[in-house]
Each structure stands twice: as structure tokens, then as C-alpha cells.
Amino acid sequence: MADLDASLRRITSVHRGKPRFMATAAALVEGLAALGERYRALPAAFDLEEAIGAQLDAVGLWVGITRHIRTPITDVYFTLDADGLGLDQGIWQGPFDPSEGITSLDDDTFRLLIRAKIGANHWDGTLEGAVPVFNQLFNGDTHLFIQDNQDMSMDVAVSGRVPSALFLALLTGGYLPIKPAGVRVNYYVLPSGDGPQFGFDVENQYISGFDDGLWGTLISAQAR
């Protein structure tokens, strides 16, 4: 134990050669040194990127979000028999997960939700300010973007690499806090494959024309 050794090295040479004195000093300092090491480990244990289980629950509590879902999220378990639920899209059903659907998020998905909540807490509500909030949710392959309808409503679209079925369910279910207070979401435009959404007269990583653009699936937020 590094702290214990460092403390014992501070003992003067007058007492260092006395075994009983050194043993007594070690017994007194050992508990304090162990406690110091435990305290120093706490920041890493509650770091967003490293925390798991109960520690991640505590981080979510500080941020203002929970891993528990209001109503079960269905049609997100991995299967080869349904589009959008294959490899890298559907999630594995754990031994204790209910067959009716997800009611509690796994650590990786909950970590993404916490990251979104942190970004939303710092968001100024502008279109420009939304970009860094959305970018920090993914590794750069998936893009979220919004359209301001100028009537206190907006539409949310996803392009690039298709995220998991669970993430899309959380998005359309309103669990991702990505809208300003008082603004409603009209539609979610979900991708039909990897690539930009289809749109006229626009060429960027979000929207493209006939050659590269993909038709999206329109989901009404008001019906959910």
C-alpha cells in the first residue's frame, strides 16, 4: 500500500529500527491509508464513462433521469426474422428481462440517455446549440438534426448509421430530452438504412438527393 509505506518512511531513524514501534505505527496508519485509497477511487467509480450498476444509477439521479421506463418498450429484442432487429440493431434479451418488453435500460443505453440529459441541461434551446448536444450522443457516424417549423413545433430526423432499435424507441417515445420547454415534436423521421435522408436541393451528411438520399419512415409524435 503506497500511502502506508510513504507514511512509515517519515518515521525518524531513532524509531525506525524498533520493530514494536513500527508495528504499532503501521497498525494505526493502515486503516487511514486504506480509507484514503477508497476515497480517491470514488471519482472514477462515478465517472460517466466508467460507472456501472448502482454507481451509474447515482449519476442519473444527480442529472435528473432514471433507467426505468414508464411503459415497456416492445419489439427491440434481437431476431433475424424482423427488419431493424438484426445484428447491431436489436438488443439481446437477458435471462431476467421480461418477454413483454424492456422496462429497465442496460448500462450502455442508460449512459447514452444520461449523456443526452447532460447536453439538454446545458442547451440554450437554439438550432446552433443543438448540434454539439446531438454530436456527443454518437461517435460521429449517426446524426440527429431538427427542423424548426416556426410555430413552437419541430421535427426530429436521424441520418447516417442506423442506431439500435432500443435507441429509436427511446427517441420516438420522448425519453430523450432534446427539445426546448414549451416546444412540441410533430414528427420523427427515422432512417430506412445507413446514409443521409432524402431531400431536394441539399447535399450534406444529413440530407442528400436521389443518388444517395434514403426515404425515411415518418412517425407522428402526437400519436405516441
| pLDDT recorded at residue 88 | 61
Q: How far is Cα 108 from Cα 120, in angstroms, rounded to an integer?
A: 19
23 and 58 in a single domain? The answer is no
Domain-terminating residue out of 45, 62, 77: 45
Same domain as 168, residue 104: yes
Residues 34 and 61 in one domain: no
Q: What is the pLDDT of residue 24?
A: 86
How far apart are alpha carbons 11 and 81 in whole angstroms? 71
pLDDT for position 2 = 63
Q: Is 186 helix (H, G, I), strand (E, B) or coil?
A: strand
Per-residue pLDDT of 188-215, as tens digits, reads: 888 888 888 888 777 777 788 777 787 8
Does residue 172 share a domain with residue 99? Answer: yes
Stretch 98-120: mean pLDDT:
83
Assign 224 a pLDDT band (cuts: 50, 70, 90): very low
Percent of the chain with pLDDT over 70: 85
CB-based contacts of 13: which residues, under 8 Å, 6+ apart? none
Domain that holds residue 196: 53-220
* 63 and 164 belong to one structural domain: yes
**Weakest mean pLDDT among 17-21, 48-52, 94-98, 206-210:** 94-98
Average pLDDT over residues 79-91: 63
Q: Are 13 and 73 contained in the same domain? A: no
**The three grid cell numbers given for residue 97, joined into one nine-digit string:** 428481462
Domain count, the chain: 2
Name the pairing type of β-strands 153-160 and 142-148. antiparallel
Q: How far does the chain reach from its first CA to its final CA, in angstroms?
A: 56
Give the Cα separation of 207 and 212 in Å (integer): 9
Contact 157, 142 (CB under 8 A): no
Are 9 and 40 within one domain? yes
- Please check whether residues 151 and 99 belong to one and the same domain: yes
**Domain co-membership, 89 together with 180:** yes
- Rounded to whole angstroms, the Cα distance separating 116 from 175 reads 10
Question: Other CB atoms closer than 10 Å to residue 84's CB: what's the count?
Answer: 17
Residues 181 and 201 in one domain: yes
- Examine the pLDDT at 139 and tell me if it is beyond 60: yes
- Lowest model confidence (mean pLDDT) among 41-55, 110-124, 168-182: 168-182
**How far lies 183's CA from each of 155, 187, 189, 219, 222, in Å?**
10, 13, 17, 17, 12
**Do 37 and 93 share a domain, yes or no?**
no
Quote the DSSP letter at residue 91.
Answer: B
- Collapsing DSSP states into helix, strand and coil, what is residue 106? coil
Q: Copy the grid coordinates of residue 175.
A: 425519453
Looking at the fold, whether 115 and 199 belong to one and the same domain comes out as yes
